[in-house]
Amino acid sequence: MLGHRALNVEDYVAILKRRWWIIALPTVVLPIVAVSATLFIQPLYQSQTTVLIDQQKVPENFVKSVVSEDLDSRLATMKEQIESRSNLQPIIERYNLYANQHLSMDGRIDLARQSIDIQGIHSEIARSNGLPGFYITFKANDPHTAQQVCGEITSLFTGANLQSRAAAAEGTTNFIKEQLLDAKRNLDDQDQKLEEFQKKYFGMLPGDEGNNVNVLSSLNTQLESVNQQLNNMEVQRSFAESMLNNQTQPTTASTGPTTALPPQTQQKELEALQKQEADLAAHYQPEYPDLKEVRRKIADLQKQIADAAAAPAPAAPATPASTAPSKADTLAVQQIKAGIHAQDMQIQAKKAEQARLQAQIGQYQTRIQSSPEVEEESKQLNRDYQSSLAFYNNLLTQMQNAKEATDLEHQQEGEQFQVLDEPNLPDGPTYPKRNVFATGGLGAGLALGLLVVALLEYKDTALRTERDIWAFTQLPTLAIIVWSGDVAHVEQTRTSRLKRLFSRKKSKELLADATG
């Protein structure tokens, strides 16, 4: 009646009583079959080793490792390298793995890859940026083979770690070395450009501007002094020329001897005295004796010029006397001419110095005027040079760090894989496990028996209780007749009894006829 109406506990107990043997039979048989099947399955033995990750012995504050890749990623990469054909095929050939399975080398390599397992050890007390270690396991049909192959794979892992770290360190060092050479060439080019610029604009650089201004001011002061000295020399020469003229030209009785200077000479002398007065007035008080003397001379000279202008003009202009020395000259004339010649030499020297100072002033004025443009170009060159220098210094520091990291890896002072537990020799096979097969067979047999009972009960439409009658007819039960056995069996028993009685009666009748 399973599936035709809701069942209660009494119904399940009744079903169990009727069909218990259907559940018990597969529950007992299937575990036996499962355990027997393990006898025909080739066993697998698993060998395992523990690899501890030994951290870098030198603190990273002193030597920073060049390998920054996460350990999980590195393990995955190394696993792919170790599972390559070039690494697995020699191991398979050396230990003759999977030879009885009649597979090609590719198939045997695939089975070997499936037999290798890498599991990381996650620990809360380990360093936070990686794993404290990992397990390496290998499965084989022979325990000794599993142990030996597991050791081979562990050696491949430790060797691959050293090679990968050394290769990473050397690759980083070579790359930085090339970058450093390029940066050095660029820095040399910038240095050469800066040197050529400094030679080209020597004295016009931004730092020379203040010095140029000071030098220009000093040159202007020197030029002013030279100009003043030159004016004084010209005045003195004019005075000497006038004295020479007076010595060489004859005097008339009506006029008598005169010491008056020519108007041009007087005018030059007046201008020189006025410049001298202005210079002294700028530096001294009006009561200064030299200033008072110069002002007195200016007043006298102005009076002479005024008197000369008021006097009647001479009949013919006086011809200046020659300044060249002559044997006919008197001693006084020769002395005056010698003085004039010395003054001419001094005037020429002062004019040369004046020209030199004016040229230097023009040169420094040009430097000062060109300073903004030179400063802008200097800023650009210095900016490029400083950028190249900073980049070079940064690469130089990185190069030093890379060399230290490379030396650290060569000395095997960096991160290493340390075998904590050697590969173990398996005591028993990891597959198949008989207790697992027996438990699986027990579960499968119980499930199969319950499934068969459920199907039989679902197809069974017999009415056994009042609930069955009500589920089919929706009518109440008037009376219940207790089950007395199978009807066909009762009829058969009754017929056999009648036959026996009939045969006995027939036998008695025949016996009576015979005796009678």
Query: What is the tens place of the pLDDT at every residue in 300-315?
Result: 888 877 777 776 555 4
Identify the CA nearest to 247 among candidates 315, 316, 324, 331.
331
**Measured CA distances, 403 to 62, 368, 407 (Å):** 13, 50, 6
d(CA 4, CA 472): 9
Overall average pLDDT of the 8-25 stretch: 85
- Per the model's pLDDT, the better-predicted residue between 486 and 297 turns out to be 297
Cα dihedral value 341, 345, 348, 353, nearest 10: -150
Domain boundary assignment for the chain: 259-315
Identify the CA nearest to 242 among candidates 256, 261, 258.
261
Q: For residue 141, give the 3-state DSSP assignment.
A: coil
∠ Cα 174 175 179 (to 5°): 115
Write the pLDDT tens digit of every residue in 468-505: 777 777 777 777 776 655 555 556 666 676 666 666 66
Per-residue pLDDT band for 199 (boundaries 50, 70, 90) equals confident
Check if the beta carbon of residue 333 is closer than 8 Å to that of residue 248: yes
Predicted confidence at residue 64, as pLDDT, reads: 63
In angstroms, what is the C-alpha Rg of the chain? 66
d(CA 35, CA 444): 13
Identify the CA nearest to 330 among candidates 245, 247, 239, 221.
247
- Per the model's pLDDT, the better-predicted residue between 130 and 335 turns out to be 335
d(CA 220, CA 230): 15
Write the pLDDT tens digit of every residue in 374-400: 778 888 888 888 888 898 898 888 888
83-97, 150-164, 397-411: which is most confident:
83-97
Check if the beta carbon of residue 149 is closer than 8 Å to that of residue 140: yes
Per-residue pLDDT band for 448 (boundaries 50, 70, 90) equals very high
User: Hey, how many other C-beta atoms are within 10 angstroms of the C-beta on 133?
Assistant: 21
d(CA 414, CA 162): 9
Predicted confidence at residue 442, as pLDDT, reads: 92
Check if the beta carbon of residue 82 is closer than 8 Å to that of residue 109: no
pLDDT at 238 over 50: yes
Residue with tokens 């030499």: 345
Query: Which letter, b or e, does each residue of 92-116 get, where b requires 16 or more Cβ atoms within 10 Å of its Cβ?
Result: beebebbeeeeeeeeebbebbeebb
Residue-averaged pLDDT of the chain: 77
Alpha helices, DSSP H, located in 48-132: 71-82, 85-95, 105-115
